[in-house]
Structure 1
Amino acid sequence: MPFYVYAQDQPDVADQLEALCEEHWSYMDGFDSRLILRGPTVSDDGEEHTGSVHVVDLPDRVAAERFAREEPFWKAGLYRDLTVVAAEVLLRRETAADVPYTLVIARWTMSARASGDAEQQGLLGAEPDSRLTFVAALVDDGATGTTGVVAAVRALPDEARGLVRPWADRLAGGRPMTLTAQRWERGGRH
């Protein structure tokens, strides 16, 4: 099952991240065949590393938590926050290097009435904009429905939000949501 794993950097850790970069990549090499999406989030100007995103196919939540907590940056205390959520991949296209991307995340609270899965809502048959390269529904572990969406978009943040909002609106089923956007880069060895 795919899991969305996001770790937010502690402040002022750029030098430490650089020093552990090879160890991080070597760790990720061990999951290469299971990584669906990977890469850092960066500042608006693209200059500073702000976090790490991985969508990884693992057997269960325990394995996903272990993947996140054994990662070298986390073990060194370079991250301040960690999110691990089951995901249903709805769209996956090849991402290009050296192209500006934005990671858009929409989250909402589940109500007593479950929203159902993405396929039931007709999202898999939708014709997405070609700038959407990855979209996944974030799924509650209790299987009561979706709790959010994460997308990688070949656009800058303001435009990217607009491209993801229709997907998020349909999945949220009218629930109020928080929609954030931050620059993202395709990861892996360079």
Structure 2
Amino acid sequence: MEAKSFWVRLTTLVFIIRGWRQTVGCLEQERIALFQLKAFFNHPAELKDWVNVKGSNCCQWKRVECNITSKRVIDLFLDSTHQSNSNGYLNVSLFLPFEELKSLYLRNNKITDFVDNKVSLSSALNNLEFLDLTNNYFNDSILLKLKSLTNLKVLIESEIFNTFKVRKCNRY
């Protein structure tokens, strides 16, 4: 009877610890980086839960997906979140803290180019496998920059007349 009680207590303790780990949330440096991205991706309704509160769990924020084990951001869904009357230059150094970022959705954001004054595109997005750039204002020179993303498998872009291109990036 005592052995059964021991296992019940041990199992309860494991569930408590696992539940506690899930509430800890994302890494602090990634939460801060997301909040810095919010300055560019500034749609008030879509990013209202992106708050600068220490300990806020960014893995539970809208448009963010994390690895359940490492708690690192793996997917960012930033479609239609840049609210501006002018085109934007996106600073890629803002993505540097996201070491496990695999997918980045940037559709409909009026992005003209990536600015990489501090770091290269490849160092900021070195694990990226999927990138959606549909309906932005890039020109063909962006393809030269994207070639440095050696892990990129899928690139979705649109041309001027809204015909979609999906490229397998390891075979430009």
* TM norm structure 2: 0.28
Structure scoring higher RCO (CA < 8 A, sep ≥ 6) equals 1
The structure carrying a bigger helix percent of its residues is: 2
The structure carrying a bigger strand percent of its residues is: 1
| Pair member with larger Rg | 2
* TM norm structure 1: 0.26
